[in-house]
Structure 1
Amino acid sequence: MKRLDAYIFVLLGMLAGLSSCSTTKHLPEGETLYLGLKNITIQNEDETKAGQTALDEVMGAISIAPNNAIVTYPNVRFPVPFGLWMYNRFERYEKGFGRWIFKHLAADPVLLSEVNPDTRAKVAGNLLRDYGFFDGHVTWKIDSTKNERAVKLSYDIDMGRPYRIDTLLYEGFAPRTDSLIHARSSERLVHTDDYFNVNTLNAERQRVVDLLRNHGYYYARTDFLTFLADTLMRPGYVMLKMVPAANLPKEALKTYHIGKTAVYLTGYNGEPPVDSMKLRDFTVFYAGDKPGLRFDVLRKRFLYRKGELYSQTRQDYTQEALSRLGVFKFNEMQYLPRSGEDTLDVRVNAMFDLPYDSELELNVTTKSTKQTGPGAIFKLTKKNFRRMGASLNLELKGSYEWQTSSTVDGDKSVMNSYELGAALSLDFPRIVIPWVRNRIDPFRFPSETHFRIYAEQVNRARYFKMLSFGGSISYSFQKSRSMKHTVTPVHLAFNHLQRRTATFDSIALANPMLFHSLDDQFIPSISYTFTYDDSWRQHRWRIWWENSFTSAGNITSAIYAAFGRGFKEKEKKFLGTPFAQFLKFTSEIRPLFYINEKQQLAGRLMAGVIWAYGNKTIAPYNEQFYVGGANSIRAFTVRSLGPGRFHPADNAAYSYVDETGDIKLEANLEYRFRLFSNMFGGNLNGAVFLDAGNVWLMRKDEARPGAEFTFKHFFDNIAVGTGVGIRYDLSFLVLRLDWGIALHVPYETGRSGYYNIPRFKDGQGLHFAIGYPF
């Protein structure tokens, strides 16, 4: 206690010493500390959406954060200027520990000269005019403070009246160009009565240029078009004309056609092309004995043909298609005009990437059953397999688990619970249908074909040993940038219970439903998944939404019915194993709102249901739902909740089994914010989150009372947890640490009230993970 008192005394002394430090004592000579905004007045405020957009831009130009700011305006600052104290206390040190403290803990003061309010007021006034407020202006003044070397600023914004668009005419263009522009006039971005907006005019000019470049005008540029404006003819309105710029080069006035194409393939060690292969107008130059990529695979990536008009869109899609092959370090397209002709020959320079890629993941798993142990996943990828632009992937994984308690039902711990798995997949960056030749990928956006076979073995100490194996074929394609479709026409899985113990047999008697979910099964299924993702638009609101539907055993059952076996007949088998029949649907939506560059609000809502029937009325164990863990309800470990109000006692016969269900509901809300920028090469971010959810059974299970879904006491059946977390974001890698705190569990704990956690320490979960949870 005496030592603790001494530490506290020293700490208080340090704080007192720092608090006595001036925040301006060691400012550079003649400089003034900026303390933020005192007041902003707005005159003639325009409350329309366009007016508020303009005002937001103006506020962004003048709202500069002072040191230790929490909110820029109204000015809210953290009351302890620790960084400034460190700056003024240790600024004079040039080396040693004092210099280290200055470098890592001090905050550079925000100076009035750096804020430069006069320039910012001019920029803000120009922004008003860019948004059509031609009469608007911004002024500023200095507000003194108690410290003569520290000031605040006040701004006065007078928006004036907005100017609107009267008309936009397109004049001075050649007949063909004029016809093309007017034929697409319905797509114009500038309309009568819109607020004048320079950004919209620039977007309209870019639209016209894109239109021209997609119709052969290879040399079209935005600086070749200009606007003429008149504000006198109609007060408060702007009459506009888009016209070609003066003295345009003659090349900009003509259309061009595609000529020959030559592709130069450089080896991954820099080997230059030494030989060539030609088919009509398409030539491939390559190093070695044969091209590093099959001729037909390469040719089908080019979405144009000789004699077609040049198109910027086709050029972009072609480059994307070449990049999606995943075999090149880079590829670039050059257009070479023929002298005196309207023809562009195409030259593509590409260099092969390294042929192999490998990845090793190490992890430690801790379960609610007091099982813990290490795991590893090794992945090896052979790029450009057999020169087809495909990748051959081998994945090996394994993990061991041992009991963390000293004994298990009187037996000492043994290291004999393990999981082993291997998977081999072949991925094509295009649609591939076996035994169908001369196929052409019809989709301009990414499409993939995925062939996969796998085998996994699970050994649960003293209970059972299970072998699972199977394979699948799936196709993914996009008809637009935001919408992706994934179809899996073939997915075959076999679950075989190789060995079971007397202990496991006693569990089967106590809980038949659980036993049958682990029984030998053949699972033939087909599935369809639709994904919507508009994050590429870079809007403040972004939505990711995925819906998936799976049907298992129904085609197989229909085949049996065709041969006289009824749909309702039980225990139909394939290769001596009963096959599962179920329908499964999941839907997950993830909205993300960007408050600003340093703050985001992220959410997730997920629902799923699986209905087993016919040949098997209990869904396979690995198809059932669960909650908890680093990417779910973070106050609880994975698979430690539900189903429903049921919760096995720690000493129950089947408490070792993970808790799963047929229905799942889960909701998450997370506020993300920046703590420190550019910290050792990355950003340190914080998060506050709220998680809720549970799983339920579709049918009543006598061995698990309260596990089935009902609307009675629905909200009491939802587990709720909150918590905080930190994320170290290196842009290419995110390291995440979350501390979850339980608020409510759906089962009886002996404690009344909504907060029914018996002891605070019992309702905590600590998760270290890679990547964001959603």
Structure 2
Amino acid sequence: MSQRRTDHNNILVAALLAFLSSFLYSCDATKHLRENEYLLRSNTVHLQSENKIKHKAELKDNLARIIVQKPNKYTFGIPTKVWLYNIRYDKYQKDTTNFQIKSKTVEKPVVYDSSTLRRSAQNMKSYMVNQGYFYAHIDDTTKFKGKKAYVTYDVQTGTNYLLNKVNLDIDDSAITEIIRNNSKESALVKGTEFSMSQLETERSRITALLKNYGYYKFSQESITFVIDTLNKAYLQNAENPFASAVNAIEEQKKAEKPPLDVTMIIRAEDPSEYRKYVINRIIIMPDYEDRKDFRDSTMTVKNIDGVTFRYHHYYVRSRVILKHIYLEHGRIFSQNDLEQTQSKLTELGVFQTINIRFREDTSADNLLNCYILMNRTRRFDFSTNYEVSSGSTYFLGNTLSFSYRDKNLGKGANLLSISLTGGLETSYDENKADKIFDRFALLNRYYGINTSINFPKFLVPFSMKDASRRNLPRTIISLGTNFQDRINYFTLTNTTSSLIYNFRETREKTWDISPAFANVIRLPRIDDAFQARLDTNDFLRNSYRPTFIEGENLAFTYSDQEKKKGGSYSYLRLSFEEAGGLLQGINLLVPSLDSSYSQYTKYDFDARHYFKRRHSTTAFRFYGGIGIPYGQSNTLPYIKQYYAGGAYSIRGWRIRTLGPGSDSTGQANNNGFVDRTGDIKLEFNGEYRFDMLQLFTGAIKLNGAVFADAGNIWLARKSSDFPGGNFTFSTLGQDIAVSTGAGIRMDIAGFFVIRLDGAFPVKKPYVFNGNGGWVFNEIAFDNSTWRAHNIVVNIAIGYPF
């Protein structure tokens, strides 16, 4: 019997080796190359400089991007797209316009072409000159290994220049004065490393600046620059100017960072570029269809505050539109006013396209008539969302939600949102019954309804006209109720309401002010077994009790993503929340008031940074929060407590199964109800995201990620029910949990991302092994028991942060 099993295993191993050999051969991208052909395997850029190079990685990435011939893409060292091409090699050779080739689902092997090296070197030389490295030198070398070619570009940067003086040569005194008065915002700053991109930035800045001062027809083509790299101090030989100039150039090459001067010249061929324009008539068409509308005499015409409205049907109230228009009759034309009007009208969410045009008025040579043409968007939206997950505390989780939106409630561009959500979590025990369906058991069910109305203004009992014009204000009123039934434990209902004022301080800064929110938490059912558990655990008893929450919230958000326009960017959110203070004051005046309300303060911060590269992003997040109960409360309410684990937190643990601190209570048994929460949370996440495949001409992108998560939750006060669960600096090193993993993300047309992440713990705070909880020595991917108890798979929508 043993011999038969051994023979059977040998056959399986031989079959597996045969399959791997066949697979690896089919993955060989060189198998169809001719005798003198080589596969371009890689391009490598080496930067060499005597001085420190700022943003060296970005510079290398940009140089690699302009190389003419690029190798095939590899996924984990395998040329997946070439492999798919070789499977149907003969077909693709004949059908070169095949959709799979055009959509880049497959790739033809890239055959090394030495004629492209010179063009690549020229591209690099031009790019380095544009970056201020006027004496850069590029060498290329090619090494051949078998049928593969490896190309290396050695870039000697030479010295780069420092900006010295900026001179102005402008034939209009008014424009000269404007530029001098706004010189603090100039992109040309003395002492900075010079690059040609600074000139383009300055040209765009000056053009935008002048357009904000009424110079509607000014063109950036009227701006030119002259660069003077010659340091006059080196011109010492007056008798021989040529020798003196050569000497100056050689001396500047030797200088570590030689200076240069820039002269900005403005010469307008068209005199109207120097003319300030004023807004005359403003015509708004809220339901514009086509150019025939300009001659349609059946359209309704209204004049309000000097603005003419023309429309087929009364779609949005005219006053609502007027509050979002910055352009005014009699006001000097401003590009900022134009962009703010475009932005504010877009924020209303009721127009599909917004086109703002200007025409010169024939009655005067400096008047502009403004036409704001808008197409209506669909008023009603319906959407559904389905999520599925599985874990160690449950076998299968399903969530289904329906959403309805009315984007123009009451013809005031008010957004009404209604969402219905329901879900189930089930367990599975293969030893429970013979029939497969009898092995499933319901663990948890939940459903809820939430509504909100979003008004494009501040709903306050006093005038805020100036703020309304500047800050894209919003008032959001919400109401909802959610029901949760933990089978054999409890039933919980949470009714919520809130009033939020949202506005932008600047393009990067946003404020959310909630002067009032309320939660009513009820537990209609508590099973006897769970009640017995509450009776012996003060923290749980205070968490799971009927309570009323009334409070205020303030949040500040900073994000420069829009400003960076696809580059690296940062995100920061700070929030403060207080509850119970107002009710305590009322209770002092009315002692008979029900005192079953919560009192606490909460402080949260969420800081992120995203390093964007051409084909990858490195993202970091640092999150922290603390809730401090006070007065008659000993703990935070259940819905306000912190938790860790899950698809959007520390992914090596299931949601609400980690912590608090190093407490190990219940970690050995994952089959029962576990909700591990705390008053304090710290979390750090790092993730490297990279491109893998593009399908259907980029409509579907398959991307990969590797990540690490660290952190935990803690109690603010020591509790005998959770040994090691309270926060102390002395045990912080032991208490931090760490997990790592990898994931695949499917980006569908940029609308949403389906994410599959697999993770496992590498440091368990509840393991006291003399090594701080690190468990690298226990990792055993080939062990089914280890995999079942450690690997966590998360399926989710969207990125974790």
TM-score, with normalisation over the residues of structure 1?
A: 0.86
How many angstroms does 1:740 deviate by? 1.0
Partner of 1:580, secondary structure, is coil
How many angstroms does 1:706 deviate by? 2.8
Q: What residue number does 2:583 align with? A: 556
Q: What residue number does 1:74 align with? A: none
In terms of mean alpha carbon deviation, does 675-684 or 617-626 score higher? 675-684
Q: What residue number does 1:658 align with? A: 675
Q: What residue number does 1:361 align with? A: 385
Whichever residue aligns with residue 7 of structure 1, its letter is A
Q: What residue number does 1:337 align with? A: 360
Q: Encode CA deviations 1:185-214: one digit per residue, 9 max, x unaligned.
A: 222222445444221112112111111100
Partner of 1:313, secondary structure, is helix
In terms of mean alpha carbon deviation, does 266-275 or 325-334 score higher? 266-275
Residues 1:472 and 2:498 aligned together: yes
How far apart, CA to CA, are the structure 1 residues paired with 2:395 and 2:29? 54
Residues 1:419 and 2:446 aligned together: yes
How many angstroms does 1:22 deviate by? 4.7
Q: What residue number does 1:569 align with? A: none
Task: Judge conservation of contact 1:641–1:647 (CA < 8 Å) in 2.
Answer: no
Partner of 1:145, secondary structure, is strand
Q: What residue number does 1:350 align with? A: 374
Residues 1:297 and 2:320 aligned together: yes
Q: Percent identity?
A: 26
Task: Judge conservation of contact 1:64–1:115 (CA < 8 Å) in 2.
Answer: no
Residues 1:714 and 2:728 aligned together: no
In structure 2, do the counterparts of structure 1 residues 9 and 722 end up closer, same or farther at CA, with 3 Å as the change threshold?
closer
Residues 1:312 and 2:329 aligned together: no
How many angstroms does 1:225 deviate by? 1.6
How many angstroms does 1:389 deviate by? 1.0
Whichever residue aligns with residue 513 of structure 2, its letter is V
In structure 2, do the counterparts of structure 1 residues 443 and 590 end up closer, same or farther at CA, with 3 Å as the change threshold?
farther
Partner of 2:333, secondary structure, is coil
Whichever residue aligns with residue 261 of structure 1, its letter is I
How far apart, CA to CA, are the structure 1 residues paired with 2:765 and 2:603? 24
Q: What residue number does 1:487 align with? A: 513
Paired residues for 1:199-238 under 5 Å: 199-231=197-229, 234=232, 235=248, 238=260
Partner of 1:92, secondary structure, is helix
Q: What residue number does 1:399 align with? A: 423
Residues 1:181 and 2:179 aligned together: yes
Paired residues for 1:32-431 under 5 Å: 33-37=39-43, 42=48, 45-49=50-54, 57-58=62-63, 60-62=65-67, 65-67=70-72, 78=77, 90-93=88-91, 107-113=107-113, 116-140=116-140, 143=142, 145=144, 151-153=149-151, 155=153, 157-231=155-229, 234=232, 235=248, 238-245=260-267, 248-266=269-287, 274-288=299-313, 291-339=314-362, 340-364=364-388, 366=390, 368-370=392-394, 372-405=396-429, 417-431=444-458
Whichever residue aligns with residue 793 of structure 2, its letter is L
How far apart, CA to CA, are the structure 2 residues paired with 1:382 and 1:649? 47
In terms of mean alpha carbon deviation, does 109-118 or 551-560 score higher? 109-118
Residues 1:632 and 2:632 aligned together: no
Whichever residue aligns with residue 753 of structure 2, its letter is V
Residues 1:688 and 2:715 aligned together: no
How far apart, CA to CA, are the structure 2 residues paired with 1:585 and 1:19? 54
Whichever residue aligns with residue 741 of structure 2, its letter is G
Partner of 1:713, secondary structure, is helix
How far apart, CA to CA, are the structure 1 residues paired with 2:39 and 2:395? 57
In terms of mean alpha carbon deviation, does 350-359 or 504-513 score higher? 504-513
Q: What residue number does 2:5 align with? A: none
The higher-RCO structure (CA 8 Å, 6+ apart) is 2
In structure 2, do the counterparts of structure 1 residues 743 and 153 end up closer, same or farther at CA, with 3 Å as the change threshold?
closer
Whichever residue aligns with residue 255 of structure 1, its letter is K
Paired residues for 1:15-34 under 5 Å: 18=26, 22-23=30-31, 25-26=33-34, 33-34=39-40
How many angstroms does 1:670 deviate by? 1.5
In terms of mean alpha carbon deviation, does 347-356 or 655-664 score higher? 655-664
Q: What residue number does 2:619 align with? A: 602
Among residues 736, 754, 767, which one is paired with 2:774 in the alignment?
A: 754
Whichever residue aligns with residue 743 of structure 2, its letter is G
Q: What residue number does 2:478 align with? A: 452
Gaps of 5+ in 1: 71-76, 566-571
Partner of 1:643, secondary structure, is coil
Task: Judge conservation of contact 2:626–2:680 (CA < 8 Å) in 1.
Answer: yes
In terms of mean alpha carbon deviation, does 117-126 or 189-198 score higher? 189-198
Q: Encode CA deviations 1:719-747: one digit per residue, 9 max, x unaligned.
A: 22111111122322211111111223232
Residues 1:588 and 2:606 aligned together: yes
Gaps of 5+ in 2: 1-7, 233-247, 253-258, 433-437, 780-784
In structure 2, do the counterparts of structure 1 residues 96 and 530 end up closer, same or farther at CA, with 3 Å as the change threshold?
same
How far apart, CA to CA, are the structure 1 residues paired with 2:181 and 2:95? 72
Partner of 1:714, secondary structure, is helix
In structure 2, do the counterparts of structure 1 residues 663 and 600 end up closer, same or farther at CA, with 3 Å as the change threshold?
same
In terms of mean alpha carbon deviation, does 651-660 or 194-203 score higher? 651-660
Among residues 748, 766, 773, which one is paired with 2:793 in the alignment?
A: 766
In terms of mean alpha carbon deviation, does 82-91 or 354-363 score higher? 82-91
Whichever residue aligns with residue 554 of structure 1, its letter is G
Whichever residue aligns with residue 123 of structure 1, its letter is N
In structure 2, do the counterparts of structure 1 residues 260 and 701 end up closer, same or farther at CA, with 3 Å as the change threshold?
same
How far apart, CA to CA, are the structure 1 residues paired with 2:108 and 2:411? 56
How far apart, CA to CA, are the structure 1 residues paired with 2:57 and 2:709? 35
How many angstroms does 1:57 deviate by? 4.9
Q: What residue number does 2:721 align with? A: 703
How far apart, CA to CA, are the structure 1 residues paired with 2:390 and 2:45? 54
How many angstroms does 1:438 deviate by? 7.2
